[in-house]
Amino acid sequence: MKSIVILISGRGTNLKALIDAARLEDWPARIVAVISSREHAAGLAVALKAGIAVDVVDAAAHPDRLLFDQKLAQALSRHQPDLVLLAGFMRILSEDLVRDYHGRMLNIHPSLLPAFKGLHTHRQALAAGVRVHGATVHFVVPELDHGPIIAQAAVPVFPEDSESALAARVLAEEHRLYPRVVRWMLDGRLALVGSRVRVDVPQDQLLLDGIVKGVRS
């Protein structure tokens, strides 16, 4: 049985989606720990409620990035994870740490990368006037919101959309997308070979399409 550690910084709705997926009978892995970079992240309660061990490596207490990363590396190695999932983890990781988990560390980002990296992605999308927005799951590399793209979920942007309405539409797709990609990983259908993603997944599953579904809030 493979072990997963999930890194969070905030409310933990993606964490909850992953926990729900992991509860399925045939799920071939266990979430062994959740590590938060914020002491009061709401996601910690989500983990505790599910009986998952929690750890905090408080970014506020470690303004020095390298020291923070050392602490995080120690916390991670205590759990010996096969897979590390960033789920709303808002810290840039050092090259060394990312290298240690090369091909075994995934992130979800709320935009169709490479568009709209960084923060406030929904605001960025509205300002740019795009008609399609979404979320991306990718392998983690040292550069923020970069890294080989595995799969994406696309949603429509409506003229009357507020930032929060658009965020909610994307988030619903994130919750469908991330567990699905993690399952591919666990089933050995997905790997990072050099800098390329090798997938043994039908092409039409790599883009979750909330547009065709006619999502309308």
Q: Of 19, 69, 88, 105, which lies in the binding site for ligand GAR, with binding defined by CB under 6 A?
A: 88
Sign of CA dihedral 161, 152, 75, 3: positive
H helix count then E strand count, the chain: 6, 10
Q: Of 10, 81, 134, 179, which lies in the binding site for ligand GAR, with binding defined by CB under 6 A?
A: 10
b/e map 40-51, b = 16+ CB within 10 Å: ebebbebbeebe
46 vs 175: CA distance, rounded Å: 15
If one asks whether residue 211 binds ligand GAR (CB under 6 A), the answer comes out as no
Direct distance between the N- and C-terminal alpha carbons of the chain, in angstroms, rounded to an integer: 39
At residue 165's C-alpha, the angle toward residues 17 and 105, to 5°, is 35
If one asks whether residue 174 binds ligand GAR (CB under 6 A), the answer comes out as yes
If one asks whether residue 173 binds ligand GAR (CB under 6 A), the answer comes out as no
The interface region with ligand GAR, picked from 4-12, 25-33, 62-70, 184-192 by CB under 6 A, is 4-12
Question: Would you say 83 or 87 has its CB closer to ligand GAR?
Answer: 87
32 vs 72: CA distance, rounded Å: 15
If one asks whether residue 11 binds ligand GAR (CB under 6 A), the answer comes out as yes
DSSP states along 74-100: HHHHHH--SEEEESS---PPPHHHHHH
Binding-site size, ligand GAR (CB under 6 A): 15
Q: Of 43, 81, 134, 210, which lies in the binding site for ligand GAR, with binding defined by CB under 6 A?
A: 43
Question: The tokens of 180 are what?
Answer: 């699905």
Question: Would you say 130 or 171 has its CB closer to ligand GAR?
Answer: 171
State the catalytic residues: 109
DSSP states along 140-195: --SSTT-S-EEEEEEEE--TT--HHHHHHHHHHHHHHHHHHHHHHHHTT-EEEETT
The interface region with ligand GAR, picked from 12-20, 56-64, 94-102, 146-154 by CB under 6 A, is 12-20
The interface region with ligand GAR, picked from 48-56, 92-100, 106-114, 149-157 by CB under 6 A, is 106-114
If one asks whether residue 172 binds ligand GAR (CB under 6 A), the answer comes out as no
Contact 155, 210 (CB under 8 A): yes
Least separation in angstroms between CB 75 and ligand GAR? 19
The interface region with ligand GAR, picked from 53-61, 104-112, 152-160, 189-197 by CB under 6 A, is 104-112
Please give the residue ranges that form the binding site for ligand GAR (CB under 6 A): 8, 10-14, 43, 87-88, 108-110, 145, 171, 174
